[in-house]
Structure 1
Amino acid sequence: MINFTKLKIALIEDHLLVRQSLKQYLISAGHEITAEANNLMQIYDTIVKSAPDLILMDFKLSDGDTLEIANRIKSDMKKIKVIMVTGINSASALKQINESEVDGLFLKEGIIEELMKAIETVMSGQRYISPLVEPYLDEASICLTPREIQILNLIIMGLPRKDIAFQLNISPETIKSHRKNIMRKLDVNNVTALILKAKELKLLDY
């Protein structure tokens, strides 16, 4: 049986100051930090072997995002709880996290007391989504498909249609059709307006 007053917690965070602050606070609250990691390569070798009750995982590390690994952990080791911690305010990214297998989603702009509430909630078997996330999820409900969001980001990065088609292994005509649908859904008629609308709705992945 898990002792909720003393959890074994692993920290995945590439910002040293943030990781140290979390570590100090959690130790002062009576919990044990079993492992720490700051990149994707360390997660399975270091974190999982420490058999934590809970993983606090930053969404974006210096070498990529952690969502795929988080889903893998939840699939392979169902008893381990995972709370995704992020400072990203991209509606599309937060929608992805919300639709993943993680047990909780916490924004770094939230207060530490809210994080403790998130921990308590997920350890009791419930899912926790920060109230700060809800406005972004509302923005993401414009109903762009994952593929349209992917193409939107590539368009805004300035990639030509042929390059996008090659990268995604689909035809230029399919890209043209997706672009037309994206602009219709966002109610814009040129790339400049598309960029402004995507930024306004926080649909960009960067």
Structure 2
Amino acid sequence: MRIVIADDHQLFREGLKLILSSEPKWSVVAEVASAEELLKTVKAEQPDLVMLDYRMPGGGALSALEYIKKRYSNIKVIMLTGVQSRALFRQMTSCHADGVLLKEMSAGDMLKAVHTVLTGKKVYSPAVTDELGSLPPDLTAREFQVLDLVLAGLNSQTIAERLNLASKTVENHRYSLMQKLNVKNTVELMRYANQHGLL
């Protein structure tokens, strides 16, 4: 099995590679540090599995997740995070992640989780399952993507270019998600994100 690891922390990448490489038939074919690098690498390497950190430089992890699942439906994507947040977990599952795992889990549990995903089942860390109650109001997958990029500091024009959308469409998504979250401006949105573990 061919694996790509996407995380901006080299030490974590090296540790995860060591864990995954302990399986005889598994091979880490590439390590990347940004969502942009990931998409290029996925196209070139055609891996079986991507281990993707939520917090990537410049944002874009959710956009990369959605792109991979739409363009390469056979590739499994497991999202990794160090933050326990119901809102964050909802973002990942809304974008069709095959698994959501906390970075604090043991090496043994990590390997079991990957094996489970490879059988075609979804897998979540226990803390994720506990937190995945409904988060009213629900945001759409696209609204979560826009939120992710807004929190990364991108303006609407840049987000539009990143998601290949019209600027007006991005503004509409931004307005909609702010209405649903009951915030009036970007400052309040950032405060909401901080309170719910999205920053």
State whether structure 2 residue 5 is matched by structure 1 residue 11. Answer: yes
Report how far residue 45 of structure 1 moved: 1.5
Counterpart for residue 158 of structure 1: none
**Percent of counterpart pairs with the same letter?**
29
The partner residue of 2:137 within 130, 144, 147 is 144
Change (3 A) 1:168 1:134: same
Q: How does 1:1-206 map to 2 (within 5 A)?
A: 7-30=1-24, 31-138=26-133, 141-146=134-139, 168=171, 178=182, 203-206=196-199
Aligned-residue offset at 1:66:
0.6
Distance 1:63 1:179 in 2: 23
* Residue matched to 2:161: none
Distance 2:9 2:127 in 1: 22
Partner amino acid, structure 1, of 2:136: C
Larger Rg: 1
Equivalents in 2 of 1:204, 1:146: separation in Å?
Answer: 16
Give the structure 2 partner of residue 188 of structure 1: none
Relative to the length of structure 2, the TM-score reads 0.70
C-alpha distance in structure 1 between counterparts of 2:80 and 2:197, whole Å: 19
Q: CA deviation at 1:75?
A: 0.8
8 Å CA contact retained: 1:37, 1:47: no
The CA deviation at 1:47 is: 3.1
* Structure 2 portions without partners, runs of 5+: 151-169
Matches of 1:46 and 1:100, distance apart in 2: 20
Cα deviations by residue, 1:87-117 (Å, 9 ceiling, x for unpaired):
1222211111122211111111111212111
Where structure 1 has 5 or more consecutive residues not aligned to the other structure, the ranges are 1-6, 155-166, 181-190
Q: Which runs of 4+ in 1 moved over 4 A?
A: 147-151, 167-171
Q: How many residues align?
A: 165
- Report deviation, 1:34: 0.9
Instruction: Please tell me the root mean square deviation across aligned C-alpha atoms, in Å.
Output: 3.2
Higher RCO structure, 1 or 2 (CA under 8 Å, sep 6+): 2
Q: Structure 1 stretch 77-86 or stretch 61-70: which is displaced more?
A: 61-70
**Cα separation, 1, equivalents of 2:104 and 2:19:** 16
TM-score normalised according to structure 1 size: 0.68
Change (3 A) 1:126 1:23: same
